[in-house]
Amino acid sequence: MYKEKLIKIDELQKEINNYRPLNSRTKKELKEYYRIGLTYTSNAIEGNSLTETETKIVLEEGITIGGKLLKDHFEAVGASERYDLLYKLVKVKKITEKDILKIHKLFYFRLDPKRAGKYRKEQVFITGTDFIPPKSDKIPELMAKFIQELNTLKKRLHTVELAAIAHKDLVSIHPFIDGNGRTARLLMNLILLQNDYAITIIPPIMRNEYISALKKAQTNNHEPKTDKYFINFICDMVYESQKEYLRLLKTLK
């Protein structure tokens, strides 16, 4: 279903690599470009009302947008701070449970400091799906197993497969009271960046397809064959993001 897409991704990655190493100016411009894009799209998927232009104003000028919820501003600033953490973690080339807790804390501490960076203590339900996340007392065990499997799978899976599965599995565990999707998308991008792939953005216009693919993968959360739906979708998003990244490289060059 997605194996041919991985071949196309590898071919495009080779073309991208021809532009490397990048100079410091190009790296800086690309980093700031994706700060806005990733912050806006990831928040918009979850219902944040700030437009891309408004997100840029909030982050670059520190100005609040009239008529918009304070919560939406906090989410934008928190996502930007997580973005900086993302680049620090890229250098480590490893992912730990502590890293995931840090990612969530930066996003959530302005909204609910007592729950930021901490696993949920209650049962939650996800609207629009029959999938029920595991009970809260199972989360520490599931997260420890998740990290262990993540570091094992990276030895035998294509990077894009690994990033997609990590995203799906984290959302399925649903370890936090809120912000699980945003944390999972950042984790996915951390895995991609650690392996020299460009940041992958899921546009808000693809929200229905994104959720549908995730729901199909969660039909039987521990059956690997169901992962193919979500991996297939993420392959499409990676490929489109690669094309955009290549366009930017050509423009900057």
Return the active site residues: 174
- Return the residue matching tokens 């629009």: 128
Q: How far apart are CA 27 and CA 190, in angstroms?
A: 16
Structure tokens at 47: 């219902």
Contact of 112 with 84, CB cutoff 8 Å: no
- Rounded distance, CA 213 to CA 178, Å? 20
Inter-CA distances, 22 with 10, 28, 205, 242, 244, Å: 19, 10, 31, 16, 16
DSSP conformational letter for 91: T
- Residue 241 tokens read as 């993001």
Of 207, 187, 235, 44, the C-alpha closest to 128 is 207
Residue 39 and residue 48 in contact, taking contact as beta carbons nearer than 8 Å? no
Alpha-carbon distance 121 to 49, whole Å? 29
d(CA 233, CA 83): 23
What residue spans of the chain are helical by DSSP H?
A: 3-17, 24-45, 52-61, 70-90, 97-108, 139-153, 159-173, 180-194, 207-217, 227-252
Of 244, 241, 205, 236, nearest to 41 (Cα)?
205
